[in-house]
């Protein structure tokens, strides 16, 4: 492909990006659109501090546009390298940037859920804690990590627990679950250039950030100073998850 052809492709991608930015999200049908209507109570469930910014910033900011009240439940303090107290403070700062107040953030810091990729958390215990939190706070939409958890057992345990609750019909009536959709490694680092593929891919909900919101997402990630090693800085620059979230309903 010659230079002119490449420039045309890039221009088309950018034009498509600006078109999608005019709409907060794309949804499959009107019933699902109703679930994401204004006034909803959404719970983002993560395993470690920084997951909310690294993977879910488009969802959190997109839901804020729709008038949702977003709260966060983090199942560990991220103490794998004995930085738990630092990381809890960083999480609160990041959530504040994303529009989640400290009163809506709960961090579980106990030995039942250690931050350790080699430890598989007890699914029933995770499910019990999660269900209690959902019922106590009147949650009607739960957001969880993708099924394989990015290769991390702690993330996978969250999906397994939610899947178990869902299959057994234990969620309160009217409570829906959205799970983050995975992409391959190549697409993961295409940034906004992945947008055409995201639009063609089957999904229930698609959030795409505006330029201003991308800056907000990066600012949230920058709060996690203890985690900003060189490869995470590259992640912030190139990962589609900092700009695009595709999700499926369970």
- For residue 116, is it left (φ>0), alpha (ψ between -120 and 50) or beta? beta
User: Collapsing DSSP states into helix, strand and coil, what is residue 138?
Assistant: coil
pLDDT value at residue 22: 41
* Domains of the chain, CATH where assigned: 37-249 (3.40.50.10320)
Tell me the C-alpha distance between 116 and 120, whole Å. 8
pLDDT value at residue 146: 81
Tell me the C-alpha distance between 244 and 54, whole Å. 11
Tens-place pLDDT, residues 188-204: 999 999 999 999 988 89
Nearest to 58 by CA among 34, 101, 24: 24
Q: Are strands 244-249 and 176-180 parallel, antiparallel or unpaired?
A: antiparallel
pLDDT value at residue 36: 76
Q: What is the pLDDT along the chain (250 residues), one digit of tens a residue?
A: 555 444 444 444 444 444 444 444 555 555 565 667 777 899 999 999 999 999 999 999 999 999 999 999 999 999 999 999 999 999 999 999 999 999 999 999 999 999 998 899 999 999 999 999 999 999 999 999 986 656 679 999 999 999 999 999 999 999 999 999 989 999 999 999 999 999 998 889 999 999 999 999 999 999 999 999 999 999 999 999 999 999 999 9
pLDDT value at residue 147: 66
């Amino acid at each position: 492909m010659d230079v002119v052809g490449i420039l045309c492709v890039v221009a088309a991608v950018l034009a498509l990006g600006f078109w999608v930015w005019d709409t907060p999200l794309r949804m499959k049908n009107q019933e699902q659109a109703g679930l994401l209507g204004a006034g909803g109570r959404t719970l983002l469930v993560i395993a470690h501090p920084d997951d909310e910014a690294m993977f879910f910033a488009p969802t959190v900011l997109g839901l804020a546009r729709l008038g949702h009240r977003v709260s966060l439940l983090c199942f560990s303090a991220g103490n794998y390298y004995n930085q738990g107290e630092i990381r809890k403070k960083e999480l609160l700062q990041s959530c504040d940037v994303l529009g989640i107040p400290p009163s809506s953030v709960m961090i579980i810091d106990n030995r039942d859920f250690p931050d350790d990729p080699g430890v598989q958390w007890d699914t029933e215990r995770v499910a019990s804690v999660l269900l209690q939190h959902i019922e106590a706070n009147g949650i009607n939409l739960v957001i969880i990590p993708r099924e394989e958890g990015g290769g991390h057992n702690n993330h996978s345990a969250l999906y397994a627990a939610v899947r178990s609750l869902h299959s057994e019909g234990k969620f309160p009536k009217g409570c829906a679950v959205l799970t983050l959709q995975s992409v391959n490694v190549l697409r993961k680092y295409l940034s906004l250039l992945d947008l055409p593929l995201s639009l063609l891919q089957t999904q229930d909900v698609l959030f795409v950030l505006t330029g201003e919101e991308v800056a907000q997402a990066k600012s949230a990630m920058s709060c996690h100073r203890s985690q900003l090693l060189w490869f995470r800085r590259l992640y912030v620059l190139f990962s589609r998850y900092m700009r695009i979230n595709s999700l499926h309903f369970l």
